[in-house]
Structure 1
């Protein structure tokens, strides 16, 4: 069994300000999860941390994206750290941060081989910059890592694409808007909206994914907590009605967690500033650690 290494990437570089002069609070997520016993429950071999560059609300004039240069510099350092973990045949359990931390993960995977990506999120994050009102990479992360967008972000270290588009499975979106969804529909990625995920059956969908990536070097799991139902996970930056129940979330993640093709995972978007009592965080930690530990014991 691979040793677990918790890796902390406390970055908010991919999000807009919630209001003028206020930084997004997701940069405090790793410490917040520690306070709610995630680290204790996972009992990792070690905990590694890479501080993010300072946040600004500055849009790069060349890309029209927030914090472009900082994101690129951070992604390179992230990839080096993840690469060292993977080289030792350890399991990186990554705590963000916003969804832009995927860039570092994807670069590391590209350096290791040919990997799939299961993108579990309440949004597709497959948006073109032309549709973005904020310029935040958080809403474009899945698109960028599969080679869509400005070269400054899609071709870091001359590795474009980090994940082949056909090896991306995007599951859980409930932002039902044709213009928004058409971006991923016209791609080579597999798109499973929340509606389709339920209609086809969660277990069947996940098994189809595992069959599809069987001949790859492995796969990565991205978990944006806003994939969960808004009633049980309201402490996110972009709230949307509906979402997975914990029963559905646990069914889905359990199958992925027990796969020997899973190279690592990352958790993003839970904002401690929006869960002052820790009520929602505590429940999330209880669920994900119980399912993860159970899957690893098989």
Structure 2
């Protein structure tokens, strides 16, 4: 990694609906969990920034059709300010969540910096309007929000709508393809969509290279990677809130991420949804961190 690394910790969980056995979703523990297993030490960032999360609630808002919109919007604004204040062309930014709703704050910041693309690597599309969400959790519709689908309060923060143009987004890795109404939403959008089957068919590295070609052809200012760990196969990453059997392995992940992370136009990457409560001994977290560090450091 030639650029200096900034590490942002956004331990936010208000985009998720807690399960019956939970006091609150454990994803907010991810930054401290990574530190425990040496991620911070091995990455050796120049700076570490942290934005404390508000207390967990599950307040459903009829106007927006989602839970906790006011807290999510306020946090997103603070996120965007922190990112804008502490990033430039010479930094690579690693963002540790939290749930997927932390993408909104980064998206607002990037929109103010220029015209950016988004590489959305996730086991779900997260591209649905509130009316199709049984839970009302923003973490399940963050891709829709950052591309302008949803209530204006969330999609038009600081009058920046849309934060990403749909035609500048690749959404890849969705393994939840049996809900036709859910999948139809993204198929009918302008997003470049590769479900898990299409991703394998197109090729992992080739899909990333196709995305980079798009960024270059459109002369965009850069791009950002969203990485929800539930895109990984359940055998290697079961500690997520919405498990699925199929998914990619670490060799596939390396093929996908290396061309992206080491491209000069890559603004950074966010890691979301890994829940330490489901991995009490770190048996899944430790190999994940080892593989991610190898990819970031460009090691075999």
TM tier relative to shorter chain: over 0.9
Aligned partners of 1:174 and 1:193 also within 8 Å: yes
Shift of 1:85: 2.1
The CA deviation string for residues 71-93 of structure 1, in whole angstroms up to 9 with x for no partner, is: 00000000011111224732211
Q: Which ranges of structure 2 fall in alignment gaps of 5 or more residues?
A: none
Shift of 1:179: 1.3
Aligned match of 1:255 in 248, 254, 259?
259
Aligned to 2:58: 57
Shift of 1:20: 6.2
Aligned to 1:120: 121
Distance 2:137 2:21 in 1: 15
Runs of 4+ aligned residues of structure 1 deviating over 6 Å after TM superposition are: none
The CA deviation string for residues 66-116 of structure 1, in whole angstroms up to 9 with x for no partner, is: 110000000000001111122473221100000000000000000000000
Shift of 1:2: 2.0
Aligned partners of 1:218 and 1:261 also within 8 Å: yes
Distance 2:22 2:275 in 1: 17
Would you say 1:182 and 2:172 are equivalent positions? no
Aligned to 1:152: 153
Aligned partners of 1:85 and 1:92 also within 8 Å: no
Q: Secondary structure at the match of 1:230?
A: coil
Aligned to 1:228: 232
Aligned to 2:39: 38
Aligned to 2:199: 197
Aligned to 1:138: 139
Aligned match of 2:271 in 260, 267, 271?
267
Aligned to 1:244: 248
Aligned match of 1:278 in 277, 282, 285?
282
Distance 2:12 2:190 in 1: 29
The CA deviation string for residues 187-232 of structure 1, in whole angstroms up to 9 with x for no partner, is: 0100011100101111111111100011100000000000100110
Distance 1:218 1:239 in 2: 32
Aligned partners of 2:30 and 2:274 also within 8 Å: yes
How large is the Cα RMSD of the aligned pairs?
A: 1.3
Q: Secondary structure at the match of 2:58?
A: coil
- Matched residues, number: 296
The CA deviation string for residues 234-254 of structure 1, in whole angstroms up to 9 with x for no partner, is: 000000111001110111111
Distance 2:175 2:182 in 1: 11
Shift of 1:233: 0.1
Distance 2:291 2:163 in 1: 31
Aligned partners of 1:119 and 1:170 also within 8 Å: yes
Aligned partners of 2:117 and 2:222 also within 8 Å: yes
Distance 1:145 1:206 in 2: 21
Normalising by the residue count of structure 2, what TM-score does the alignment of the two structures yield? 0.96
Shift of 1:19: 1.3
Aligned partners of 2:118 and 2:224 also within 8 Å: yes
Distance 1:193 1:173 in 2: 5
Aligned to 2:85: 84
